[in-house]
């Protein structure tokens, strides 16, 4: 839980969008252009962190990740939402409503 605490604390300074991805994930690859565009849109107000789930098993366990992609929105030390699969439109909608 030590690693998750880092992200929760950091989100008190600037909200965080985390994407858990994996190298063989076709959905992840198909979303790359859309995610990169959105990252540019929110860069001044949000931190975007991409985590390779296959190389960060402790974070996968801590955040209770069961598939890629999974998106987690953290603000003010609280996990606000977790989205799984091809749900990036909902992620964008949620972040825009928070800003």
As for how many domains the chain has, the answer is: 1
| Rg (alpha carbons) of the chain, rounded to whole number | 13
Q: Please say if the pLDDT value at position 1 is more than 60.
A: no
pLDDT of amino acid 78: 96
Q: Please say if the pLDDT value at position 99 is more than 80.
A: no
Using CA of residue 90, residue 17, residue 39, residue 45, what is the dihedral sign? Answer: positive
Q: 69: domain CATH number?
A: 3.40.30.10
Mean pLDDT of 31-56: 95
Q: What percent of the chain has pLDDT over 70?
A: 97
pTM: 0.93
Q: Domain range spanning residue 57?
A: 2-98
Tell me the pLDDT band of 2, cut-offs 50, 70 and 90. Answer: low
Query: Across the chain, which distance is largest between two alpha carbons, in Å?
Result: 33
Tell me: the pLDDT tens digits for 3-32? 788 899 999 999 999 999 999 999 999 999
Segments of 22-86 assigned E as strands: 47-52, 70-75, 78-84
In the numeric block, which tokens belong to residue 77?
A: 């030390």
Quote the mean pLDDT of the chain. Answer: 93
């Amino acid at each position: 839980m030590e690693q998750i605490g880092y992200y929760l604390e950091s989100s008190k300074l600037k909200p965080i969008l985390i994407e858990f991805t994996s190298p063989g994930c076709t959905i992840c690859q198909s979303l790359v252009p859309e995610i990169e565009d959105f990252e540019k849109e929110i860069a001044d107000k949000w931190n975007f962190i991409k985590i390779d789930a296959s190389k960060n098993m402790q974070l996968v366990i801590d955040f209770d990740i069961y598939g890629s992609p999974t998106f987690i929105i953290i603000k003010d030390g609280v996990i606000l939402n977790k989205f799984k699969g091809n749900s990036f439109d909902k992620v964008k909608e949620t972040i825009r409503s928070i800003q």
